[in-house]
Amino acid sequence: METSLFTVGTYLTTRLEQLGIDTIFTVPGDYTSDMLEIIDTRSNLNRIGNCNELNAAYAADGYARSRGVGAVCITTGVGAFSALNGIAGAYVEQIPVICIIGTLSNTKLQSEKNAGVLYHHQVNTTDFVKHAYEEVTVAFERIMNPNTAPAQIDAAIVACLTQSRPCAIEIMEDCYYMPCDAPVGNLVSAPSYTSYDNLLLLSQQTPPNIYASQILTAIQASANQACELIMKAKNPVIWIGKDCNVNMRNYLADAAVTYIQAPFVSSLLGKSALAENHPWYVGMYDGKFTSPRAQPYISNCDCLIGVGVWNTDLNTFGNPGFEIGNIAAIYAANDMVKIGEDMYMQVSLKHFIDALLAALQKNNYTPINQTPPQPPALPPIPPANTPMSYDAFFNTVDNYLTPQDLVVAEIGLSTFGGSSFLQINRMNGFLCQAIWASIGWSVPAALGASFTNQTRVMCIVGDGAFKLTCQEISTMVMHNKNIVIFVLNNNTYAVEQMLLNASPYKHGSTTPFEAANILQPWDYPSLMNAFSNRNAGGNAYSANVNTVQDLMNVFQQINQNQNACFLVNINIGERDYPAAWAWKVGN
């Protein structure tokens, strides 16, 4: 037999290692066990066993948000369907996750098809996992022939990197240990646009390539129109969005702010695309949840320059139809530029920013602002005996966050005007699943993100969301992770109540909560005993917080135990809400 140094399993693990992936989130299954065995032979790969596949997918998502690309390895059917929600979130939010799914062997499939034997975890003999995953992956490859595995694996991974969205690689269990060709070169994402120089060459040839000319015209015209508006503006504001975090495009946001020298705000999805101690940063712009500091800049703004902002309902909260008012507005995102009624297609953010800055330079642009605004003061820590409330919690946390801290924020009442107003002094230091908004994402995502050097993850999660996926704390303890989880305990699904009927939140209200929004109280700190088997390794702590003093004590403990995992129960009155929600309550 011809021998090869590589098998399908080692080919795939080599590709993952080349991408800088050192951790894979997994749940075993008999169709996948050989793959996990292969992972365990790789000294550069760390296999994390999660409590369930949904958590594994969320963890790979959190890892990818922080590290660039992540991987999860699960079994077919039961595992793949459990993970589907996590993969869907990654798809919607443009997070590159490689999803490896082990499935039955060729022999079993044939006996299923020909002899009518149904194997466990199978829905039927069709490609049922592929059908389920088709909407939430940019590539789905089923590997049934080891000889085609290299090309299939490479195609899936390149699609994942290029489109910054998940791919699935389904491997039949008889293939893992089969030989295949060795990997050639490294896999990189293909640029989503043709280079400017090539467009120019193509447009200058005879006859000119009309498509290249069309794109060049769109780039130039959008840049000129934007330049004209910016030159005229007295109070321009730059609005940084999610496109700047995708595929590491943060440098484009930086280039725009540095050259234009205007105050910038961030969208919820783009929060921390630039570190928020940047001198030109003035806060969050998110419809009704615009931060108080950003508000006057937005009110006076006569030219809004949107750099990579996606318009979603949670990004423009409470502004139906997204009315920004009668001002010049430039939106560059999703390979398009929109200025007023004009749309320019196939204009990548990079081409637009490059051309815009060149146009400004050509027109001798002088920034209207010569110096950045006064740096903000952090909110004062409330008096020590102040009972816990949303605002007391966030104002205190704001004073303790360091550039080492990476905040993973869950969706809920606390996100808007709570986590979203925290000052994050670290690029990409704030993760939130703010479009897909699947509650339960944050705790496993915090685990995933914690595999980042020089990082302490602070996870801020409502009690309702916590209940979905909190078992992953046991994985954190098992792997000695230094993660802090703050459970905002108000015994309710508060945001659901707020959106349904805000009257229980009115001053002095005795209006009962909707029964569906009331939670069974849990003894949260005790959970740490269970998840850590009574603190077996001495690295698991929990605490109850009722006052600001209690919270400051916890931070002291956290700082003294840099390598421990903390579960902190923050007791908040059920009728409390972040002050930023007052417009909704009508108080």
Ligand X SMILES: Cc1ncc(C[n+]2csc(CCOP(=O)(O)OP(=O)(O)O)c2C)c(N)n1
Give the span between the Cα atoms of 267 and 271, in whole angstroms: 6
Binding segment toward ligand X, per CB under 6 A, in 243-251, 469-477, 491-499, 531-539: 491-499
**Amino acid letter for position 379:** P
Binding segment toward ligand X, per CB under 6 A, in 112-120, 167-175, 194-202, 462-470: 462-470
Q: Note whether 505 binds ligand X by CB under 6 A.
A: no
51: burial class by Cβ within 10 Å (0-12, 13-18, 19+)? middle
Q: How many CB atoms lie within 10 A of CB 33?
A: 14
Instruction: Enter the DSSP assignment of 181.
Output: P
Q: Note whether 414 binds ligand X by CB under 6 A.
A: yes
Binding segment toward ligand X, per CB under 6 A, in 24-32, 243-251, 268-276, 406-414: 406-414
Binding segment toward ligand X, per CB under 6 A, in 128-136, 346-354, 433-441, 543-551: 433-441
Kindly tell me which of 35 and 495 has the beta carbon lying closer to ligand X.
495
Give the span between the Cα atoms of 250 and 327, in whole angstroms: 26
Q: Note whether 50 binds ligand X by CB under 6 A.
A: no
Q: Which of residues 508-547 bind ligand X (CB under 6 A)?
A: none
C-alpha distances out from residue 108 to 104, 124, 345, Å? 6, 12, 49
For residues 112 and 77, is the Cβ–Cβ distance under 8 A?
Answer: no
Kindly tell me which of 454 and 520 has the beta carbon lying closer to ligand X.
520
- b/e map of 138-158 (b: 16 or more CB within 10 Å)? bbbbbbbebeebbebbbebbb
Binding segment toward ligand X, per CB under 6 A, in 245-253, 285-293, 408-416, 449-457: 408-416
For residues 421 and 291, is the Cβ–Cβ distance under 8 A?
Answer: yes
State the minimum distance, in angstroms, from the CB of residue 495 to ligand X.
3
Number of chain residues interacting with ligand X (CB under 6 A): 19
41: burial class by Cβ within 10 Å (0-12, 13-18, 19+)? exposed
Q: Note whether 462 binds ligand X by CB under 6 A.
A: yes
Spell out, one character per residue from 545 to 574, where the chain touches ligand X: x when CB under 6 A holds, - when not: ------------------------------
Kindly tell me which of 100 and 439 has the beta carbon lying closer to ligand X.
439
Q: Note whether 493 binds ligand X by CB under 6 A.
A: yes
306: burial class by Cβ within 10 Å (0-12, 13-18, 19+)? buried
Give the span between the Cα atoms of 65 and 61, in whole angstroms: 6
State the minimum distance, in angstroms, from the CB of residue 83 to ligand X.
14
Kindly tell me which of 285 and 436 has the beta carbon lying closer to ligand X.
436
State the minimum distance, in angstroms, from the CB of residue 25 to ligand X.
19
Q: Note whether 89 binds ligand X by CB under 6 A.
A: no
Binding test (CB under 6 A) with ligand X, winner from 71, 401, 495, 554: 495
Q: Note whether 435 binds ligand X by CB under 6 A.
A: no
- Strand 336-339 and strand 342-345: the pairing is antiparallel
Tokens of residue 291, six digits: 């931060």
State the minimum distance, in angstroms, from the CB of residue 73 to ligand X.
23
Binding segment toward ligand X, per CB under 6 A, in 200-208, 255-263, 315-323, 435-443: 435-443
Kindly tell me which of 116 and 521 has the beta carbon lying closer to ligand X.
521
Q: Note whether 413 binds ligand X by CB under 6 A.
A: yes
Binding test (CB under 6 A) with ligand X, winner from 8, 132, 476, 494: 494
Q: Note whether 412 binds ligand X by CB under 6 A.
A: yes
383: burial class by Cβ within 10 Å (0-12, 13-18, 19+)? exposed
Binding segment toward ligand X, per CB under 6 A, in 188-196, 473-481, 493-501, 542-550: 493-501
> Length of the chain in residues, anyone?
587
Kindly tell me which of 132 and 332 has the beta carbon lying closer to ligand X.
132
Residues 6+ apart with CB under 8 A from 449: 62, 63, 65, 66, 406, 408, 431, 455, 457
Kindly tell me which of 194 and 469 has the beta carbon lying closer to ligand X.
469
Kindly tell me which of 349 and 494 has the beta carbon lying closer to ligand X.
494
Residues 6+ apart with CB under 8 A from 324: 304
Residue 130 phi/psi, 5° resolution? -60, -45
**Amino acid letter for position 181:** D
Kindly tell me which of 263 and 440 has the beta carbon lying closer to ligand X.
440
**Amino acid letter for position 218:** A
State the minimum distance, in angstroms, from the CB of residue 490 to ligand X.
5
Q: Note whether 437 binds ligand X by CB under 6 A.
A: yes
Give the span between the Cα atoms of 173 and 96, in whole angstroms: 25
Q: Note whether 463 binds ligand X by CB under 6 A.
A: yes
Binding test (CB under 6 A) with ligand X, winner from 438, 450, 569, 571: 438
Report the sign of the C-alpha dihedral through residues 244, 249, 250, 252, in that order. Answer: negative
Q: Note whether 490 binds ligand X by CB under 6 A.
A: yes
For residues 416 and 578, is the Cβ–Cβ distance under 8 A?
Answer: yes
Q: Note whether 464 binds ligand X by CB under 6 A.
A: yes
Give the span between the Cα atoms of 60 and 508, in whole angstroms: 44
State the minimum distance, in angstroms, from the CB of residue 390 to ligand X.
8
Binding segment toward ligand X, per CB under 6 A, in 52-60, 184-192, 400-408, 410-418: 410-418
Strand (E) or helix (H) holding 18 = helix 8-18
Binding segment toward ligand X, per CB under 6 A, in 96-104, 334-342, 349-357, 434-442: 434-442
State the minimum distance, in angstroms, from the CB of residue 438 to ligand X.
4
Binding test (CB under 6 A) with ligand X, winner from 36, 216, 439, 446: 439
Give the span between the Cα atoms of 414 and 461, in whole angstroms: 8
State the minimum distance, in angstroms, from the CB of residue 572 to ligand X.
9
172: burial class by Cβ within 10 Å (0-12, 13-18, 19+)? buried
Q: Note whether 504 binds ligand X by CB under 6 A.
A: no
Give the span between the Cα atoms of 71 and 492, in whole angstroms: 34
The binding site for ligand X (CB under 6 A) comprises 411-414, 437-440, 462-465, 488, 490, 492-496
